[in-house]
Amino acid sequence: MSVAIEVVEEVSDELVAAFGRLLPQLSRSAAPLDADRLRAIAGQPGNRLLVARLDGAVVGTLTLVVFPIPTGLRAWIEDVVVDESARGHGVGAALTREAVRLARTDGAKTVDLTSRPSRAAANRLYERLGFQLRESKVYRLE
């Protein structure tokens, strides 16, 4: 089984269907994405929507956001999800490595991400890939 990572350049029916399967595995409250919404995400300046294919089928995704701030160019990895059927095959690692490579190529000074403590396997993966836990608090205003 080979994992291939690609940056979404064109939104297809296959991609819409894949997000229909993947997004509920990431968030119970996220609304389904149609083709227009996926195009808006993929086309947003600074965004890269990555997908992973395992033997040709879309089985994972993440969003890489690269943005300038006064302290330098930064990158953030968001909404990482690997289909339950594909976990344990290196899909998450391949997605994350490619996102980091792209961020570094862009000149990002740092690459950040968050992960819930309950996602033990994901947290082990990020630490194995060199991410370090930061002492911080995350605040959200809804």
Q: What is the CATH number of the domain that holds 75?
A: 3.40.630.30
| Residue 138 banded pLDDT, cuts 50, 70, 90 | confident
pTM of the model: 0.94
| Contact criterion met (CB below 8 Å) for 79 and 116 | no
Percentage of residues of the chain with pLDDT beyond 90: 92
Q: Is residue 71 part of a domain?
A: yes
Number of domains within the chain: 1
| pLDDT at residue 110 greater than cutoff 90 | yes
Q: What is the pLDDT of residues 3-59, one digit of tens each?
A: 999 999 999 999 999 999 999 999 999 999 999 999 999 999 999 999 999 999 999
| Sequence-ordered list of residues with C-beta below 8 angstroms from that of 67, at least 6 positions apart, any chain | 46, 73, 74, 75, 76
Q: Is the pLDDT of residue 1 over 80?
A: no
Which range of residues forms the domain containing residue 10? 3-128
